[in-house]
Chains A and B, each alone.
Chain A
């Protein structure tokens, strides 16, 4: 168990180092720089080229790439992501609240999605091939297939414009309290929730159908154990274990990947900050967000692996 865990820690570290270099290269090939995009066409037309060159020099934009890579790697090791290029503010101060807000949104969604998806997935598996399964499976395919920006826009049209019960766009501040933020974001939560339930319910249904068809379940039934005990105490853990990695990756993707939803509703999360960082060529902000997202995926994947190791003795031999 310990060796398996250490092996996974090592793999996670190697993955992170590779991702760090990849992120640096990705930000390096973005065209233009922070100074270019911080100036308007009027300003560019009026500032002499030699002054522009001096401004770039002052901002450190003319430093060679290897020098910047070393500086970035050194910073990552000490969890120092540097400062913004234009205003020289610590990057951690820029991404702190957006990261928190994305975690709040993802947390709220998962809190609602997991029990609902569990209920739907279990019901669909237990009554496989019956009306409830057909409805759940069809609903899941529809819910998962429709892009989130379509769901979001339809919800806005219905519940904010035609029947104005919820805000169409989130005007809460980035540093508002978690409950204030969530109260301002019901449509954003529901938009992400629909896709999440659809995905997780499908995942759990498949796992449950497999588990319920296993020989050990048949033997349990023959011993006369009540069906509810078989489902919840025996089949469900067996169904969850293979889904854990997928669920962990989904949770990580929720934090870093709901950019579209954040843009549709103007939710002050990491996705919106990333878009802003890219637009403004604030490469340190982009690097920090990308690295946080990558680290989250690696960390949750690692936790899922650990959980599987703990729950499934067969994997410890691998």
Chain B
């Protein structure tokens, strides 16, 4: 046995004290949570980047590496992590009357562009000349009218009680006014927390702190670097492991368990995220023309199993209610009943299939990496109700055209029993997607659909949020009763980061993440 000498005892005590000191001080510093100024943060983003930017337009919000516009630009409103709308550069936003088709906005004063010029309502009006032509959610804006240096009006083609959400779209940023809407925004000058200093199209963007940012004392970081690694998850994670990246956004859900066990890695889920839509076609000859078969399928799917097996539990996945609403939306109405295999069997028997049914092939494309597992779980769980569900993976290439079939139905190439993805947007846009004219509803029609659309139209001109919530609840109940399409479960967006990165909140809308309050400890 080794003898304890005075020297080794002293050395041990010193080491212990030093460790305690370091640990206590470190803890105190961390617990203080005081944001620290400075540092460079490098992150990789892996989501699909649809915008084809090049050297001529890589700083333009429509063409820069997708979904990161909020680093350099601001919008009038912002959707927070709980999917609530809050003002950003708007200080007042209200409809002028009950029709809700004219909205008056007062914009924040004292906000400066990166070139030092103050933002006025003219810049907003000029910016929206582009947005109303190019942003899909803004096409309802017929015109704008500048009513003062810091106020303007939006004229819509119809009432929209959720117009503030339109203003939060990540494309709808303010840029210095330009008479030619095709040239606006090309300089990359915005009002955001960071200025663009380098833009390598589709590959890399470098930002530096905007010293004149309207949010005082923010941002905390001196420099932000974004590396685009769309479709290159392994490359992004290797970069994180080798400490090239401080964070990686849009992590493949299948990697979450593995990454949770890695050192110096925080796995940060958002409260919700995208979900899968299973389109139930209602063309001639389709079994889904029978509501009971649609309902039977809805009752037979084990949604909890999807969340558990595919996403690893409620921390990383959520159960849908067969509407397009996101699970954490304040107006989301949970599915009123749980899985009921007996009821599914009864419905099938009632529909003339007492011994079960073999459905047409469900086609999916691996737009998300977990999709194979997702549909395998569905396939296995519906077997219990006597439903045989053949599934087939199709290539991403050409999947859209394949699943949509041909518009000319006389050719017999109908839309397919298939899947697509849907992002978490505001209730108005989300619920409008179940309209009969949209492929995602399987071209749903009938009295229930008509009632659904009537409710939608009413909601669009109902200013009172509580009343609107009741309307939306009824619309979601119709989705539950009718099952025009199935939206069984969704994923929570996941990012990974180093523990010393603070203030980085994940967001159900990965395009709404902000970097204003992020700092390095």
Binding site for B on A (CB under 8 A): 30-32, 34, 36-47, 49, 51, 84, 86-87, 89, 93-94, 153, 156, 160-161, 164, 167-169, 171, 173-175, 263-266, 268, 276, 279-280, 282
- Please list the 9 inter-chain residue pairs (A to B) with the smallest Cβ-Cβ separation, ordered nearest first: A31-B398, A168-B238, A168-B242, A173-B200, A160-B242, A169-B239, A89-B54, A43-B136, A169-B235
User: How far does the Cβ of B131 sit from chain A's closest Cβ, in whole Å?
Assistant: 13
Inter-chain contact B235/A263, CB cutoff 8 Å: yes
- Residues on A with C-beta less than 8 A from B236 are 169
Inter-chain contact A38/B51, CB cutoff 8 Å: yes
Inter-chain contact A86/B52, CB cutoff 8 Å: yes
In the complex, residue of chain B having the shortest beta-carbon distance to the beta carbon of A149? B234
- Residues on A with C-beta less than 8 A from B242 are 156, 160-161, 164, 167-169
- Residues on A with C-beta less than 8 A from B335 are none
Is B440 an interface position by the 8 A CB rule?
yes
Chain B 171-212, CB-CB to A under 8 Å as 1, else 0, gives 000000000000000000000000000101111100000000
A160-B237 Cα distance, complex, nearest whole Å: 12
Inter-chain contact A263/B397, CB cutoff 8 Å: no
A145-B235 Cα distance, complex, nearest whole Å: 23
A2-B52 Cα distance, complex, nearest whole Å: 47
User: How far does the Cβ of B501 sit from chain A's closest Cβ, in whole Å?
Assistant: 18
- Residues on B with C-beta less than 8 A from A280 are 50, 52
> Residue B402 contacts which of A31, A43, A44, A169 (CB distance < 8 angstroms)?
A31
- Residues on A with C-beta less than 8 A from B198 are 173
- Residues on B with C-beta less than 8 A from A44 are 400
User: How far does the Cβ of B421 sit from chain A's closest Cβ, in whole Å?
Assistant: 5
Chain B 417-430, CB-CB to A under 8 Å as 1, else 0, gives 00011110100010
Inter-chain contact B401/A41, CB cutoff 8 Å: no
In the complex, residue of chain A having the shortest beta-carbon distance to the beta carbon of B62? A87
> Residue A87 contacts which of B53, B231, B421, B429 (CB distance < 8 angstroms)?
B53
- Residues on A with C-beta less than 8 A from B432 are 46
Inter-chain contact A46/B235, CB cutoff 8 Å: no
- Residues on A with C-beta less than 8 A from B420 are 41
A268-B438 Cα distance, complex, nearest whole Å: 39
Binding site for A on B (CB under 8 A): 42, 44, 50-57, 63, 136-137, 139, 198, 200-204, 225, 227, 229, 231-232, 234-236, 238-239, 241-244, 397-398, 400-402, 407, 420-423, 425, 429, 432-433, 438-440
- Residues on B with C-beta less than 8 A from A94 are 54
Inter-chain contact B204/A173, CB cutoff 8 Å: yes
Instruction: Given A38-B51, A87-B63, A282-B52, decide whether A161 and B241 contact each other with a Cβ distance below 8 A.
Output: yes
- Residues on B with C-beta less than 8 A from A279 are 231
A6-B200 Cα distance, complex, nearest whole Å: 44
Question: What are 20 pairs between A and B in contact, CB < 8 Å?
Answer: A30-B397, A36-B400, A36-B401, A45-B422, A46-B137, A46-B433, A84-B52, A87-B52, A87-B53, A87-B63, A89-B55, A93-B56, A161-B238, A161-B242, A169-B236, A171-B227, A175-B200, A276-B202, A280-B50, A282-B52
A45-B279 Cα distance, complex, nearest whole Å: 13
A169-B402 Cα distance, complex, nearest whole Å: 35
Inter-chain contact B235/A45, CB cutoff 8 Å: no
A282-B229 Cα distance, complex, nearest whole Å: 19
Instruction: Given A84-B54, A89-B56, A173-B204, decide whether A42 and B229 contact each other with a Cβ distance below 8 A.
Output: no
> Residue A32 contacts which of B53, B203, B401 (CB distance < 8 angstroms)?
B401
- Residues on A with C-beta less than 8 A from B422 are 41-42, 45
> Residue A31 contacts which of B42, B139, B231, B397 (CB distance < 8 angstroms)?
B397
In the complex, residue of chain A having the shortest beta-carbon distance to the beta carbon of B433? A45
A42-B432 Cα distance, complex, nearest whole Å: 11
A265-B52 Cα distance, complex, nearest whole Å: 21
Additional 5 contacts, C-beta under 8 A, given A47-B136, A161-B238: A40-B50, A168-B242, A171-B204, A265-B235, A266-B232
User: How far does the Cβ of B468 sit from chain A's closest Cβ, in whole Å?
Assistant: 20
- Residues on B with C-beta less than 8 A from A49 are 407
User: How far does the Cβ of B160 sit from chain A's closest Cβ, in whole Å?
Assistant: 13
- Residues on B with C-beta less than 8 A from A266 are 203, 227, 229, 232, 235
- Residues on B with C-beta less than 8 A from A46 are 136-137, 429, 432-433
In the complex, residue of chain B having the shortest beta-carbon distance to the beta carbon of A278? B397
User: How far does the Cβ of A159 sit from chain B's closest Cβ, in whole Å?
Assistant: 9
- Residues on B with C-beta less than 8 A from A39 are 50, 136
A164-B201 Cα distance, complex, nearest whole Å: 28
A45-B425 Cα distance, complex, nearest whole Å: 12
- Residues on A with C-beta less than 8 A from B429 are 42, 46
A37-B50 Cα distance, complex, nearest whole Å: 7
- Residues on B with C-beta less than 8 A from A30 are 397-398
A150-B355 Cα distance, complex, nearest whole Å: 50
A167-B242 Cα distance, complex, nearest whole Å: 7
User: How far does the Cβ of B259 sit from chain A's closest Cβ, in whole Å?
Assistant: 13
Instruction: Given A38-B51, A47-B136, A266-B229, decide whether A160 and B238 contact each other with a Cβ distance below 8 A.
Output: yes
A42-B509 Cα distance, complex, nearest whole Å: 12
In the complex, residue of chain B having the shortest beta-carbon distance to the beta carbon of A279? B231
User: How far does the Cβ of A56 sit from chain B's closest Cβ, in whole Å?
Assistant: 12
Inter-chain contact B203/A268, CB cutoff 8 Å: yes
User: How far does the Cβ of B55 sit from chain A's closest Cβ, in whole Å?
Assistant: 6
Q: Give the most central of A43, A164, A171, A265: most B CB within 10 Å.
A: A171
- Residues on B with C-beta less than 8 A from A51 are 139
